[in-house]
Amino acid sequence: MRVLVTTQQGQLLEVRVNADDAAGTEATATESETASAPNPIAPEGKELIWGAGSFLVFLVLMRVYLFPKLKKGMDARYTSIREDFEQADATRQAAQSDVAKYEAALADVRAEAAGRIDAARQTVDAERNAKIAETNSKIAAKRAAADAELAAARAKVRDQVAEAVSTVTARTTQLAVGKSPDGSVVREAVQQVMQSGAR
Amino acid sequence: MEALTRIARAGIRVAELTAAEEKANSAAQMAGLAYGLAAIGPGVGIGIIFGKAIESMARQPESAGMVRTTMFLGVAFTEALALIGFVAFILLKFA
Amino acid sequence: MISTQLAQMASARVNSILVQATEGESTRGFHFPPINTLLRWKDITPGINKVVLISIAAALIGTALFLIAANRDHKTAPKGARNLAEIAVEFIEKNIIMETMGRSGLGWTPFLLTMFIFIYICNVPGIIPFIQMPATARMGIPAFMALLVWVVYNATGIKNQGPIGYFKNVLFPPGVPKALYILVTPIEFISTLVVRPFSLAVRLFANMLAGHLLLVIFALLSEALIQAETQRIFLIPIGVLPFGVLMFLTAFEILVAFLQAYIFTTLTAVYLGMATHPEH
């Protein structure tokens, strides 16, 4: 068993007491703990006074000098940052209006160009259509002339053939019957046969 | 010789302390009980505060900052009871 | 801490037992030292002990931090000391004042900032190796701070609402049925004028004291186990456990040191806000 005791001089002295059944139990005690010791919760005068003093000095320094200076710096920086932002905003808006102006001009130019192209295309189309129509009419005229020539030639040939056939028919009839048929009747019959043969 | 005197005095002092020690001992036991009792209520209370705070933060994460400040205030008020118990413990044990 | 049995035994046998002074400290077994040896410090020079030194150092460190910060170039992005100081200022403004008092409370920033920094630097030595004593684990600083807060918020209330108006608002809160004033007035009187400063001081003090004692207990326990003289094979590995807990608690005390400074400052802000604008 071990006991911590205080001597009359106030020193801590540790004694070991050998008891027969002291099974290694330990105990410590100081006289000061139970009797005259200040309560561990009670504030100690010097700690209170020094703590209060240092806090108050710190508070006064902060309030009078340190904090206002720091805060002024912070405010100045924040104001300058805000101003920078505002300036940047203004610049951005100016740039945006410039861009808008440029785009409007560009759109004007584009519209004008498109109009001109349309006009040119229309004139070209009109000219082409006129030329095509002219050519077509020329071709048609030529074709009509050729058709007429062809028809005339065909009619002429047919007349000649009919003449020849009617002559031959009249001759043959005269030889077969012995009587010369009326020329107009023969011609009409030949015409009829040729018409039906052509059909 | 001086050492012997000191040791003898120490022994006598141990004998003298007995009654006071007995009182201090029972006070120490009461102190432990006092602190144990004082810790029950605030323990439950702080649990409830944190639980509710977590619930409301999960429900409305956008109000988490306000909830946290209020939660710490509530914890501080509740905890004060347990701490008064702790102080009572020290007062009983050492005063 | 002598058990009754032990004391009786000692008194009965004090004449017959062999008394033997030991040479040096025995490391065997776990014994908790008297609480005052953990809390009361010897004077280094008359009137100055460790706690006093810590509180002076807290004021000096705070002053030095803000002195360096205030004299740095304020136009560029803040770094180092200035950054730290500005973070502290913005923390006080955004997380404490704006949340409790609103915009009108911003004039209290220097007071609350100083309070926060001072309490925090007084708390933190509890976990700094070789110092290991939170100055707020002694009642002096918390008691003074709570008293100061009490004076300040009462003065603010009287200044803002007039002495009659203030005490009328405190003692006879509007919106309460008249008959209930018999009950409400004593409660309000005690809670506003007595319990507030008391709980403010005790909360800070007891939190730091409890943390300090916890660290002491686990440090002593791991020391006793690791330096055990018998059954070393078993006891030394077991000693790792309280050491791990000690490490965890040290980390936890970092949080507590901050949290207690924050709570003290926040409650001060709440009380000041209530004294400025009576809402209830």
Domains in chain B: boundaries: 24-94
Tell me the C-alpha distance between C39 and A32, whole Å.
14
CA distance C187 to chain A (A): 26
What pLDDT score does A112 carry? 95
Residues of chain B contacting residue A30, judged by C-beta atoms under 8 Å apart:
none
Q: Whole-angstrom Cα distance, residue A73 to residue A67? A: 10
Chain C stretch 8-37, residues whose beta carbon is closer than 8 A to a beta carbon of chain B? 8, 10-11, 14-15, 19, 21, 35-36
pLDDT at C170 over 60: yes
Residue A121 pLDDT: 94
CB contact under 8 A, C138 and A3: no
**Tokens describing residue A116:** 């001109």
Give the pLDDT of residue A29. Answer: 42
Among candidate residues C108, C117, C139, the one with its CA nearest the CA of residue C208: C139
Tell me the residue ranges of DSSP E strands in B1-95.
none
Q: What is the pLDDT of residue B20?
A: 73
**At CB < 8 A and 24+ separation, what contacts does B5-12 make?**
B6/A7, B6/A13, B7/A15, B7/C19, B7/C21, B8/C19, B9/A7, B9/A8, B10/A3, B10/A5, B10/A7, B10/A13, B10/A15, B10/C19, B11/C14, B11/C15, B11/C19, B12/C14
pLDDT at residue number A34? 42
Report CB contact under 8 Å: B25, C2: yes
Q: Are strands A2-6 and C18-21 parallel, antiparallel or unpaired?
A: unpaired
- Per the listing, tokens 């946290």 go with B68
> Mean pLDDT across chain B, nearest whole number?
84
For residue B76, give the nearest of C3, C19, C267 by CB distance: C267
pLDDT for C67-76, tens place per residue?
999 888 777 8
CA distances from B82 to B78, C80, C215, C264 (A): 7, 39, 19, 17
Q: Specify burial of residue A103 (Cβ count, 10 A radius: 0-12, 13-18, 19+).
A: exposed
CA–CA min distance C198, chain B (Å): 10
Mutate to test the interface with B, among C196, C199, C205, C255 (most CBs of B within 10 A): C199
Q: Give whole-number Cα distances, A178 to A170, A173, A184, in Å.
A: 10, 7, 18
pLDDT confidence of C259, banded at 50, 70, 90? very high
- Give the pLDDT band (50/70/90) at residue C21: very low
C50-71 helix and A45-61 helix, angle to the nearest 10 degrees: 10
- Look at C10 and B28 and tell me if their CB atoms are within 8 Å: no
* Cβ proximity of C107 and C160 under 8 Å: no
Q: Kindly list the residues from chain C whose CB atom is less than 8 angstroms away from the CB atom of residue A28.
A: 1-2, 31-34
| Overall average pLDDT of the B49-53 stretch | 96
Contact B6 A13 (CB under 8 A): yes
On the CB side of C47, how many CA atoms lie within 13 Å of its CA?
Answer: 4
In C, which residues are within 8 Å of A21 by CB distance?
9
For residue A17, the cross-strand partners are C19
> What was the pLDDT predicted at A129?
95
User: C167 is written with which tokens?
Assistant: 């005490």
Q: Which tokens belong to A93?
A: 């808006």
A-proximal residues of C, 94-133, CB under 8 Å: 109-111, 113-115, 117-118, 122
Selecting from B7, B18, B69 the residue whose C-beta is nearest the C-beta of C99 gives B69
- Would you say C49 and A47 are in contact if contact means Cβ atoms under 8 Å apart? yes
- The type of residue at C134 is P
Q: What are phi and psi of C265, to 5 degrees?
A: -65, -40
Neighbours of chain B (3+ CB pairs under 8 A): A, C
Q: What per-residue confidence (pLDDT) applies to A147?
A: 93
- B15 CB neighbours in chain A (<8 A) are none
DSSP three-state, residue C45: strand
pLDDT of residue C266: 94
In this predicted structure, what is the pLDDT of residue A25? 38
Cβ-defined contact of C203 to B8 (cutoff 8 Å) = no
In chain B, pLDDT over 90 holds for what percent of residues? 31
Amino acid A30: pLDDT? 41
pLDDT band with cut points at 50, 70 and 90 for residue A4: low
Q: Which residues of B touch A33 (CB under 8 A)?
A: 94
Q: Please list the residues that pair with A4 across neighbouring strands.
A: A14
Tell the CATH superfamily of the B24-94 domain.
F1F0 ATP synthase subunit C (1.20.20.10)
Interface contact C10-A3, CB threshold 8 A:
yes
The least confident of A182-186, B44-48, C94-98 is: A182-186
Instruction: Please check whether residue C139 touches A, CB under 8 A.
Output: yes
pLDDT of residue C93: 94
Report the residue of chain A nearest C205, measured CA to CA: A41
What C256-260 contacts at long range (C-beta under 8 Å, 24+ apart), as own/partner pairs, is C256/C123, C256/C207, C256/C208, C256/C211, C257/C120, C257/C123, C257/C124, C257/C126, C257/C127, C257/C134, C257/C208, C258/C120, C258/C123, C259/B72, C260/C119, C260/C123, C260/C136, C260/C203, C260/C204, C260/C207, C260/C208
**Spatial distance between the Cα atoms of C1 and A40, rounded to a whole number of angstroms:** 16
Q: Mean pLDDT across the stretch C12-39? A: 57
Residue A143 token pair: 């074709």
Give pLDDT tens digits for B79-94. 888 988 888 888 887 7
More confident site: C169 or A20: C169
Element (DSSP H or E) covering residue A6: strand A2-6
In degrees and rounded to multiples of 5, residue A14 shows phi and psi of: -105, 130
Residue ranges of alpha helices (H) inside chain C are 4-13, 35-39, 50-71, 81-90, 98-100, 109-123, 140-171, 181-190, 196-226, 232-276
Nearest to A18 by CA among C148, C29, B19, C10: C10
Phi/psi of residue A30, nearest 5 degrees: -120, 150
CA distances from C153 to C204, C263, C271, C275 (A): 18, 16, 6, 6
Residues of C whose CB is below 8 A from B72? 259, 262-263, 266
Q: What are phi and psi of C271, to 5 degrees?
A: -65, -40
Q: Write out chain C residues lying below 8 Å of B86, CB-based.
A: 206, 209-210
pLDDT of residue A162: 83
More confident site: A197 or C187: C187
Is C3's CB within 8 Å of A16's CB? Answer: no
CA distance A32 to chain B (A): 10
Average pLDDT of chain C to the nearest whole number: 86
- The reported pLDDT for the residue numbered A132 is 95
Q: pLDDT value at position C273?
A: 92
Going by pLDDT thresholds of 50, 70 and 90, the confidence category of residue C22 is very low
Q: Which of residues 247-276 of C touch A (CB under 8 A)?
A: none
Q: Which chains touch C (3 or more CB pairs under 8 A)?
A: A, B
Residue A90 to chain B, least CA–CA distance (Å): 33
Q: Are B80 and C202 an interchain contact pair (Cβ–Cβ within 8 Å)?
A: yes
CB atoms within 10 A of CB A33: 20
Among candidate residues C98, C132, C123, the one with its CA nearest the CA of residue C112: C98
Under DSSP, the state recorded for A15 is E
Chain A residues whose beta carbon lies within 8 Å of the beta carbon of residue B94: 33, 37, 39-40
Q: Contact C263/B11, CB-based, under 8 Å?
A: no
Angle between helices A67-177 and C109-123 (to 10 degrees): 100
% residues pLDDT > 90 (chain A): 49
Q: What is the pLDDT of residue A9?
A: 52
Please list every residue in chain A whose beta carbon sits closer than 8 Å to the beta carbon of residue B24.
34
B vs C: CB pairs below 8 A: 76
